Amino acid sequence: MKRRSTAGSEPVKTLRRQTLRPKRRNALNAPDQAPSAVDLQEQVDALSRELKEAREQQTATADVLKVISRSAFDLDAVLATLVESAATLCEAERGLIFLRQDNYCRMAANYGFSPELEAFAKANPLPIDGRSTTARAAASGVVVQAIDVLADETQGELALRYQRLGGHRTNLGVPLRREGETIGVFTLTRQEVRPFTEKQIELVSTFADQAVIAISNIRLFEEVQARTEDLRESLQQQTATADVLKVISRSTFDLQTVLHTLVESAARLCEADKATITRQIDGEFFRAESYGFSDEFMDFVRTVPVPCDAWDSAHARRGADRRHCDMSFCCRTVHHQANRTGDDLRRPGGDRHRKCPPVRRSAGAHT
């Protein structure tokens, strides 16, 4: 509406007051509704399960690390703890760890299986021929799962015999890999047809890696121990040789002292309980010195010759063909030779040797 101004001819515009009304929103643009109490409870339950599983895994890992630290050189204890922890966390009733030897997988640890199956597994290792879940995992180097063993046509007769003894239906094989080679297989089983999840397989693979570390540590320790033992034996031999040379240099004209030192050093180095050394006199061999025998016994047998034409004693065979001869019953041989002279050694000191149990080792030498 226009009104004329009293001051001029220009019309004056009047403003109409507009009422602001809220716009209606489309139902599609409406914000999401707040989650219901049921949804929230499901989320809480899922998070609680994940937290519980994480804590169980951490606890199991800590237990395994404790066992490895306490039993760093006890492979059986470490493997037993690993297979038990893996089976418990992955909801498997039973489990086995196989170690590869040549073309076979031999059982090294058992959890949950009966003593009958354990004895059967030890007597019947699985050949790596692809006729079992464990064999396929060992041959391929990848995870193999048989969801239903009885429905798996690749299972061979030996694998089915394992199944009949164990009663398992689902079988999982996770290879133990070291430097690109499979050194064993981690096997878990379930008594019902229920496949393992990807998360559980990943967890078993973690335990398999820990098993590989434990096996590597044990083998490294054994190698170090073997080298240390070789060095110790070498040092003992060098020390004994030096002692003998010292005695020879000091006792050049004392033959009995030299012979006694020689036979004693040889017996100690070879871990023999008793030893004798003989000399040839007028075509016959006589015991000249000994180690481990009583003086009374040696005083008697010094006069008993050891004939070289007889093949019923270590001394005679060694003297006749000049080759090394090992005999573990030196005291019984001496008794037999004494019987040939008509003396049964039934005298103080002699009867003890005649009735003594077999010694670990005995040594005989000739000069």
**CA 158/CA 353 separation, integer angstroms:** 54
CATH 3.30.450 fits 255-366, yes or no: yes
**CA 67/CA 29 separation, integer angstroms:** 60
Say whether pLDDT at 82 is over 60. Answer: yes
pLDDT band at 56 (very low <50, low <70, confident <90, very high): low
Centre a 10 Å sphere on the Cβ of residue 177 and count the other Cβ atoms it contains: 16
- Give the distance from CA 95 to its chain's centroid: 17
Distance between start and end Cα atoms, the chain: 149
Q: What is the pLDDT of residue 16?
A: 53
Say whether pLDDT at 323 is over 80. Answer: no
Find, among 93, 105, 108, 200, the residue nearest to 145 by Cα.
200
Within this chain, domains 54-221 and 255-366 share the same CATH topology: yes
Q: What token pair was written down for 209?
A: 């890696």
Cβ proximity of 85 and 207 under 8 Å: yes
Say whether pLDDT at 105 is over 90. Answer: yes
Ranges 56-70, 132-146, 175-189: which has the least confidence? 56-70
Q: What token pair was written down for 187?
A: 């096997």
Average pLDDT over residues 178-207: 94
pLDDT digits (tens, 9 = 90+) for 156-190: 999 999 999 999 999 999 999 998 999 999 999 99
Instruction: Indicate the SS3 state at residue 146.
Output: strand
Domain residue ranges of the chain, discontinuous segments joined by + = 54-221, 255-366
**CA 106/CA 156 separation, integer angstroms:** 17
On average, the pLDDT of the chain sits at 75
Cβ proximity of 96 and 129 under 8 Å: no
Q: What is the DSSP letter of 102?
A: T
Ranges 127-136, 248-257, 279-288, 338-347: which has the least confidence? 338-347
Q: What is the pLDDT of residue 64?
A: 64
Class of domain 54-221: alpha beta
Average pLDDT over residues 186-214: 93
More confident residue, 248 or 281: 281
Say whether pLDDT at 42 is over 60. Answer: yes
